[in-house]
Amino acid sequence: MTKAAANPDVLNVDMQGNIAVLTMTRPDKRNAMNDDLLGALKAFFMDPPKDARAVVLTGTAGHYCSGLDLSEHVKRSTEETLYHSRSWHAVMDMIQFGGLPVVSAIFGAAIGGGLELATSTHVRIAEPSTIFQLPEGRRGIFVGGGATVRVGRILGSDRMTEMMLTGRKFNAEEGVQLGLAHYAVGEGGALALAMELAGKIARNAPMSNYMMINSISRIDDMSKADGLYVESLSAAVSQSGPDADEGLRAFLEKRAPKFR
């Protein structure tokens, strides 16, 4: 096992084989997002380790991420807040569309910006302690890290509006029912399942993973005709490389494929 750290004060990066385990490390702030943590995430996803095939993202000290560090929010002007929101959007897009599958192991707070961060990842696992919440409206502010797009697409605008108006909290089981999480596990079980699923995902062909990450959500934004065309393009690209040949040979030879 090799280790590297983008900024160990806020984000620990631990390479376990071809899986990069990213742990947010601001325990005194329930891993709230500040500029240093956002910058560390940006640095990792801009230039991930060459041998990384999947990522597990999690928190420490009982929490995933409690959202924006409000002690920093009050220091920003209107213009600065606009630019800061757009910087969040850039990093969340980098996570969602960068090409590396990201699995979130969630416990404790996945609140506000923490929920925005979680919904930029591709597989979400929640423990019983998990709290999904968007409390911004009850603090006199509005979401700015992408919730209206990512959380809104999952819940629908009507349910997200109610969630924000009332400050409603959802637990792990409710999160699975609503689509905020894909798996609910027992206490302490999120990281183990995240590693198991990340290992399975890492064994897929890299181009297949890339297409699943980049094509499906974009097709959801398109008309039926445009979506079907992009599906055909994605199929053509993924099926024309050596990994597709290896996958077919492995199937015919009744063995596990060995992709690049």
Per annotation, catalytic residue among 79, 80, 116, 187: 116
Asked if 253 is an active-site residue, the reply is no
Q: What is the distance between the alpha carbons of residues 240 and 244, in angstroms, rounded to a whole number?
A: 7
Tokens linked to 230: 């992009």
Q: How far apart are CA 51 and CA 70, in angstroms?
A: 36
- Nearest Cα to Cα of residue 197 among 64, 65, 54, 24: 54
Q: Could you give the CA distance from residue 114 to residue 196 in angstroms, rounded to a whole number?
A: 23
* CB of 236 closer than 8 Å to CB of 224: no
User: Among positive and negative, which fits the CA dihedral 124, 90, 234, 178?
Assistant: positive
Is 80 tagged catalytic?
no
Query: Out of 72, 79, 80, 136, which one is annotated catalytic?
Result: 136
Cβ pair 107, 60 in contact under 8 A: no
In DSSP terms, 133 is beta-bridged to 111, 169
Please give the positions annotated as active site.
Answer: 116, 136
